[in-house]
Structure 1
Amino acid sequence: MRPDKLFPYFADVTTLPGVGTRIGALLEKLAGRHVIDLLWHLPREIVDRRYRPTVRMAESGRVATLTLRVDKHLPSSDRRRPHRVICSDESGEITLIFFKGDKGYLNRVLPEGEQRLVSGRIEYYNSTPQMPHPDFIEPLSNEEAIPAVEPVYPLTAGLSAKVVFKAVHGALEKLVPLEEWLDPAYLTKHDWPSWQDAVRIAHHPEGPDDLLPTSKARQRLAYDELLANQLALALMRERIKKQAGRRFQGNGTLRQKVIQQLPFDLTGSQKEALKEIYDDMAAELRMLRLLQGDVGSGKTIVALLAMLNAVECGQQAALVAPTEILARQHYDSIRPLAQAAGIQIAVLTGRNKGKARKQTLEDLASGQTNILIGTHALFQDDVIYHDLGLAVIDEQHRFGVHQRLAISAKGKGVDTLVMTATPIPRTLTMTAYGDLDVSRLYDKPPGRKPIKTVVINKDRMEEVISAVGRKIAEGSKVYWVCPLVEESEKSDFAAAEERYADLSRRFGETRVALVHGQMKSTEKDAAMTDFVEGSAQILVATTVIEVGVNVPEASVMVIEHAENFGLAQLHQLRGRIGRGSLESTCILLRAPQLSETARERLKVISETEDGFVIAEKDLELRGAGEVLGTRQSGLPDMRLADIAHHGELMKAAYDDARLVINRDPQLESERGKNLRVLLYLFERDAAVANLRSG
């Protein structure tokens, strides 16, 4: 149950003065339905009203607060012309302009012959100062009604800045002190204010520096949010780990047979990752591990050896991939190695129907199938294992946490290994996967040649097409990627179809295949198969080819409008080539004019192939939500923290949360009780429920 002291924060926004049902619905759309949501809705800029010149000295374009005498109203009978009010001080005259102004209202707030304080933006028309639609008009006795520095909040359609300002400041009236949940030494080290003072300061900025993520108040609030997030993940991790696991410590016979079949030695980081995985599997706690490996770093072989460790102990293993193409590719690459080890593997996707599907399920339930590879189909109710010991999930960000739990519920004490080929900055790994232990594959398998990356102006398209012609004449295969062009009305698949038609005219239809997101799965699979095994040498595609597909003969990648892609996406696409023995080239076609950020992105991608370096730079340039794609990443929506700016705080919160849980797993100490309040404040109620249920 949420503590009583937090009830004011979780009251509906309609309990605030001046907020009715209509405004409440708009505020809910903008920030959320509770008072606390408005406190998290921080200003993004300020209007400084401390500039108090005389009329004559008022600078054009600046916001000024003037003390004026109201001289004369000049209403207009034509609704298209403004109501004008002539005002003055001892230095000169200024005209206040009101389009569609209500004559009665304006006469009431600006009575002729009286003085008023007026605040707004100064403009000059024919050398005469004027102020269209002043923001504030107040009697001299009510000067405090005009804020010296006014915070400006993000808005939504139907809400004015004044309404949001009033609602947020109504929410600030509800602030009640809460016991400090931060470590006193850490608080002192950073010289941060208390939580409630930080909220007040964040909503009363004195200057532009107070809006920066590095200001003390904003750092404090960001750390609170990061700590709540990390604490919730740490509690979830403890709970899952508490569920009895099983010890899987195989005798190594199957693994040895597979290693003997490999045409290369395992890399140093593969051996290191396998040791961490084997140690986890041998422990009585359940394994929850993330295997991060750059494109082509050899994750699949690590996953296979982990699965064989379970099989050696008499258990089954499952490998789940996000697409049918990837699942079948895993199956094709693993099958010869599994056959050499004398074990049975099967593949199960949405394509399996009728008798074949029934037979696969029977073999699985009887234990005859040792390893099952497939798509989401593996989560279905009728997929029953004889004894599932290890679940491997490929491209984790394509699946939710719930699906991760669904597959591990298919057995007793199932170990989970999650894989991603998207290099993720360390701070983001902590945010999205803080409940997992992490292994990283840094080095590429021996024999992989570097990929030459060149950036070329799209004006040189003809040269590029000629070069592609020479490459396919030598027997190479070519990827040609067409993204959505932002300024065009065309969709990405229309752009791809146009390029496909052009290249088909040049090189013949049988030598060019097309894949885009609007095609049916069967059409996509047929085109991919034609490119992998058939006559097609050029695959024109949208970004659907991004993950996983392995074509050793593909040695050229052309990416049109490369400036429209994020760094990580360019790196993923480039990783489709350079998988065989051929020298490989990635050609980035760019627009003649580039923004500074786009120029920086293309410079980075052409200078390094290290996915982790690229990921850190991508985070710096684009921010966390963009890098992972917040909607699909499992990345929590952060209201106060910005991982790109608060990376060091993220690391501190990660360490702090783990230390707290090690020392006080039930949060029963004085600080622990205060941290429970923090979890409720950031609506991590499920984490507190985990505590109660043990």
Structure 2
Amino acid sequence: MNLHEIPVRQVSGVSALKAGELHAFGIFTVNDLIEYYPFRYEDYRLKSLTEVKDGDKITVQAKIMGVPVLQRYGRKSRMTCKMVAEDWMFTSTWFNRHFLRDQLVAGREIILTGKWDLKRNQLTVSDSEFPDKGVQRSGTVQPVYSIGGKITQSWIRKTIQQAMQQYGELIPEILPEGLLKQYDLMSRKRAIQRIHLPQDQAEGQLARRRMVYEELFLFQLKLQAYRAINHERMDGVAHIVENSIIREFVRSLPFELTDAQKQVELEILRDMRSPYCMNRLLQGDVGSGKTVIAAIALFAAVKSGHQGAFMVPTEILAEQHARSLAKMFEPFGISVGLLTGSVTGRKRKDLLASLQMGLTDVIIGTHALIQEDVFFRSLSLVVTDEQHRFGVNQRSVLRRKGFNPDVLTMTATPIPRTLAITAFGDMDVSTLSERPKGRKPISTYWVKHDMMDRVLGFISREISQGRQAYLITPLIEESEKLDVQNAIDLYVSMQQAFPDFRVGLLHGRMTPGEKDEVMRAFYANEVQLLVSTTVVEVGVDVPNATLMIIMDADRFGLSQLHQLRGRVGRGEHASYCVLIADPKTEVGQERMKVLTDTDDGFEVARRDLELRGPGDFFGTKQSGVPEFRIADMVSDFAVLEAARDDAARLVADASFWTSPEFEPLRGYLQREQVLQGEVID
């Protein structure tokens, strides 16, 4: 029996209703359930009050010494009761647990878990249990899972343990003996058992170490095997184009390429000329000239007798690229089409026919490009901009519209190069590290909220000189948890502050059509001040916008702030970024300082990695870097590098493909469809 094939419904105690709730967490099979790992542990082992420090979370066995005192505040309540443990008298406090009052009988033993307040000689109780009713948690280390809805911690703990009892014997070992010995890793079965129910924190860490290595190793094995298999496949498109024709196109551009652009151009053209499928990631800082590189690649595809497709995340960005590429390509007789959701009726029908007959050479569009009725005569190059904005399926559908086309993926999210090479093991990585000539640096300032009047004066001066400004806020509407200016309130107050200017509003809950309408008005300078959430992070070039103001800047990640800053500085005028924040911590202050010190995206990314620490760097999947169940791309980077080397060594060894020792790993690759030559995203 294969755990990947047993529905989670087969676990005792999992009803059809509960199975549906588990599906929401991506848990469909028994294997999914037992690999649903805890993100931390609660330590319920008993401690002596003589050993604890102020603020510690502790579990202590005590005797009830007094009568509980209950105070009610509407629906809420606070209950206190005197306790004694090891001759130490203290007060225990419960919030909203008034139903326990009748059980708090003087002389009765109780086990309390909570936060210790040394000054007040008080324990704020989060959990309590009575030994005379049968103890469940105390004396143990309990896993804590990411849950929600109607699934509780106690239910998921119990259900995972039930699955281990029923199916634990079926957990297979997948790593070869050599790797287990090399790194002194515990067996897979024991690691999974101990990760869910460790005897202590140290054992939980050892179990995690084993599963982190396995996850990263399997990820790298998939990439390395895919590379090895596809390197043998010479069924891509070999683009044949003379250097002189490429040089003529580059000379026609109204600017000179930077050294970095020339280097990347060579790398991409070398890939395109080979019979292998290109799979290249082009990362470059905001405004580093990635679009020009895409234009050269598309030009080479068309001059080789084929077609190119360029997929971008928004309609207005597609329109902008279509305009600029049509201008570049027109002298060379290359026709450019634009396909977005707004292109309908006869116009769309004619465009699709032109594309299918090969009369349209380059098509630029949004996800409209991947609709079923879009056909190409000979698609040989697919370019995607800001790939993380598209799902894996969307990208692969576009790719399948050609016969093994070359793929160029572009991102403006700078990732430290070593991390990029390791994370995107199946892709070659090109980096644009320098700013095109003539791009002006952006002056960045950090101010506190009490200087808002001066900021408004700055906005007024810039707009009065004919410029435009962005004003960014983190949230759309009121939140009780976060005391931040929301976009809607800010929009209203800016209309009042600037009655002579037109103020626009942009946020994530607007429809794509509404967003595009606002951005078009801003692009045309019909709107002078745009109040927006971070939806402008990937947006259209507005060369006339010279001022970026970010409210509550400490609520954003450094890389995101850098992306937002890159929305200005795209024209001939001096540009500014103003960060408004009152960070409470040293790290928060340091982050503001990083942005005022440098506008180099790769340096910002490096500092972001240092300051934000494990797990936070890639934020909202913003870089397209894969997500892992248990491993962390940053804190486990050394393991990731070791796993990459181990996987590459194994795949290069002929015995890997034949020896019975590696059968489980080949089975894994089969299951992941790598051996069918599927493209890995």
TM range (shorter): 0.7 to 0.9
Q: Does 1:599 align with 2:592?
A: no
Answer yes or no: is the 8 Å Cα contact 1:516–1:542 preserved in 2: yes
Instruction: Kindly provide the amino acid, as one letter, of the partner of residue 175 in structure 1.
Output: G
2:496 pairs with 502, 521, 529, which one? 502
Query: Against the structure 1 CA distance between its residues 665 and 524, is the aligned structure 2 distance closer, same or farther, given a 3 Å change threshold?
Result: farther
Number of corresponding residues:
654
Is 1:312 aligned with 2:312? no
User: Aligned AA for 2:190?
Assistant: D
Say whether residues 1:202 and 2:165 are aligned partners: no
Specify the alignment match of 1:77 in structure 2: none
Specify the code of the residue in structure 2 equivalent to 1:232: K
1:396 Cα deviation (Å)?
0.9
Residue aligning to 1:544: 535
Q: Which consecutive residues of structure 1, in runs of 5 or more, have no partner in the other structure?
A: 75-79
Contact 2:507 2:532 in 1 (8 A): yes
Q: What is the CA-CA distance between 1:15 and the residue it aligns to?
A: 5.3
Equivalent residue for 1:611, pick from 564, 585, 601: 601
Mark the structure with the bigger radius of gyration.
1
* Aligned residue type for 1:199: I
CA contact (8 A) 2:615 2:635 kept: no
Matched with 1:289 is 280
Asked if 1:415 is matched to 2:411, the reply is no
Change (3 A) 1:17 1:409: closer
Deviates more, 1:192-201 or 1:425-434: 425-434
Number of the residue aligned with 1:346: 337
The structural deviation recorded for 1:62 is: 4.1
Aligned to 2:578, the other structure's residue is in SS state strand
Q: Which sections of structure 2, spanning at least 5 residues, go unmatched?
A: 69-75
Match of 1:477 in 2: 468
Range with greater deviation from structure 2 (84-93 or 375-384): 84-93
TM-score (norm 2): 0.81
Partner of 2:557: 566
| 1:558–1:677 CA distance, 2 compared to 1 (3 A) | same
Paired residue secondary structure (1:605) = helix
Instruction: Tell me, yes or no, if the aligned pair for 1:319 and 1:373 is still in contact at 8 Å.
Output: yes
Distance 1:516 1:500, change over 3 A: farther
Instruction: Name the CA shift for 1:543/1:90 in 2 (closer, same or farther; >3 Å).
Output: closer
Judge conservation of contact 2:11–2:163 (CA < 8 Å) in 1.
Answer: yes
Residue 230 of structure 1 pairs with residue 235 of structure 2? no
> 8 Å contact 2:506–2:533 — kept in the other structure?
yes
* Cα deviation code 1:609-653 (max 9, x no counterpart): 2223333444551754772524x8655442211223112222333
1:259 positional shift: 1.5
1:175 maps to which residue?
Answer: 168
Q: 1:463 aligns with which of 454, 464, 483?
A: 454
For residues 400 and 17 of structure 2, the distance between their equivalents in structure 1, rounded to whole angstroms, comes to 45
The structure-2 alpha-carbon separation of the partners of 1:662 and 1:101, relative to structure 1 and needing over 3 Å to count, comes to same
Q: Secondary structure at the match of 2:263?
A: helix
1:48 is displaced (CA, Å) by: 4.0
By how many angstroms is 1:223 displaced? Answer: 1.4
Question: Distance between the aligned counterparts of 2:544 and 2:446, measured in 1?
Answer: 22
Match for residue 580 of structure 1 among 566, 571, 596: 571
Deviation at 1:52, TM superposition (A): 6.9
Separation in 1, partners of 2:439, 2:461: 23
Contact 1:478–1:554 (CA under 8 A) maintained in structure 2: yes
Residue 500 of structure 1 contacts residue 514 of structure 1 at CA under 8 Å; is this kept in 2?
no
- TM-superposed deviation, 1:415: 1.2
- Could you tell which deviates more after superposition, 332-341 or 189-198? 189-198
Matched residue of 1:649: which SS?
Answer: helix
Q: Are the structure 2 counterparts of residues 14 and 177 from structure 1 closer, same or farther at C-alpha, using a change threshold of 3 Å?
A: closer
Cα gap change, 1:328 to 1:82, in 2 (>3 Å): closer
Question: 2:434 maps to what in 1?
Answer: 443
Contact 1:478 1:555 (8 Å CA) reproduced: yes
Contact 2:477 2:488 in 1 (8 A): no
Paired position in structure 1 for 2:387: 396
TM-score by structure 1 length?
0.80
Percent identical pairs in the alignment equals 34
Secondary structure in 2 matching 1:175: helix
8 Å Cα contact 1:667-1:675 kept in structure 2: no
| Cα distance in 1, alignment partners of residues 65 and 412 from structure 2 | 72
Distance 2:206 2:602 in 1: 30
Deviation at 1:193, TM superposition (A): 2.4
Deviation at 1:399, TM superposition (A): 1.4
Alignment match, 1:249: 240
| Residues in 2 aligned to 1:497 and 1:85: alpha-carbon distance in whole angstroms | 51
Q: What's the C-alpha RMSD, in Å, of the aligned pairs?
A: 4.5
Q: Which amino acid aligns with 2:495?
A: A
| SS of residue matched to 2:530 | strand
- Distance in 2 (CA, whole Å) between partners of 1:152 and 1:443 is 47
SS in 2 for 1:580: coil
**1:627 counterpart SS class:** coil
Aligned partner of 1:193 in structure 2 is: 186
Residues 25 and 86 of structure 1: is their aligned pair in 2 closer, same or farther, counting only changes over 3 Å? farther
Q: Which residue of 26, 32, 38 corresponds with 2:27?
A: 32
Conserved? CA contact 1:320–1:374, under 8 Å: yes
Give the letter aligned to residue 270 of structure 1. Q
Q: Work out whether 1:382 is the aligned partner of 2:376.
A: no
Counterpart residue type for residue 611 of structure 1: G
- CA 1:374 to 1:132, structure 2 compared with 1: closer, same or farther past 3 Å? closer
Kindly indicate whether the alpha-carbon contact (under 8 Å) linking 1:45 and 1:151 is maintained by their aligned counterparts in 2.
yes
Q: Does 1:639 align with 2:640?
A: no
